[in-house]
Amino acid sequence: MCRITPSRNIGDLLIFITIIRVKVSCITKALETLAETPVETVVVVDSYGALYHEQIRALVKKYVAMANATGKEVGIHTHNNMQLAFANTIEAIIQGANRIDATMLGLGRGAGNCPMELLLGFLKNPKFNLRPIFKLLQDHLMPLRRTKEWGALIPYVVTGILNQHPRAAMRVRDTEEKNQFLEFYDACTSEV
């Protein structure tokens, strides 16, 4: 499945959703077709937070090869189900992705995303002043974290390991059984 997202500020983006479930031959064909379109950026999305760095490397290399031949850009959007969002984002940057998606404290639905503060620290750009970032985290995100739940909690880890959408993890986190990890794991594996 893919989605084209128009934007006045950054051009058209093409996002392949649930890329982990798409055959390599289909990705290749889609990228060949995409090369002929006006889409400006193609984004590698780890929808389930289930990709490892080897998979990110291979995907980004494939996207960058198409992008280099057509003047398009490559982005990365990672989910943190298995606490790999930051590492996978770094791998994508190393392989040539230049549209990077991250959020403060990894804020995002379910397990969240690549933490912006880690990414800015990794980039070590002297233009980036981290003091206001930590002030923002301290004054706004930490209080929010006391009222909203996100991050790589065990149910999200389970869905990441099993390459499943995290909807079941989100549902269980809203119940009294939210910390019954073995029961959740058994339920998820019985569906596979």
Q: Measure the CA–CA gap between 126 and 94, rounded to whole angstroms.
A: 19
SS (H, E, C) 158-189: HHHHCCCCCHHHHHHHCCCCCCCHHHHHHHHH
Where does 2-148 sit in CATH, by number?
3.20.20.70
Sign of CA dihedral 51, 52, 55, 58: positive
Picking from 71, 11, 74, 1, the residue whose alpha carbon sits closest to that of residue 36 is 71
Residue 168 token pair:
């079941």
Give residue 17's pLDDT.
Answer: 66
Which sequence spans correspond to the domains of the chain?
2-148, 153-192
* 177-186: b (≥16 Cβ within 10 Å) or e: ebeeeeebbe
Picking from 70, 61, 69, 10, the residue whose alpha carbon sits closest to that of residue 38 is 70
Beta strands in the chain (DSSP E): 2-5, 13-16, 41-46, 73-78, 99-100
* pLDDT of 34 higher than 90: no
* pLDDT of 29 higher than 90: no
Asked if 115 and 106 count as a contact pair (C-beta separation under 8 A), the reply is yes
Percent of the chain at pLDDT above 90?
A: 73
Give the number of other Cβ atoms within 10 Å of residue 93's Cβ.
16
Give residue 13's pLDDT.
Answer: 56
* pLDDT of 85 higher than 80: yes
The 10s digit of each residue's pLDDT in 40-72 is 899 999 989 999 999 999 999 999 999 999 999
Percent of the chain at pLDDT above 70?
A: 90
Q: How far is CA 47 from CA 98, 158, 179, in A?
A: 19, 14, 24
Choose from 10-14, 31-35, 154-158 the range with maximum mean pLDDT.
Answer: 154-158
The 10s digit of each residue's pLDDT in 119-145 is 999 999 999 999 999 999 999 999 999
Q: Measure the CA–CA gap between 72 and 55, rounded to whole angstroms.
A: 21
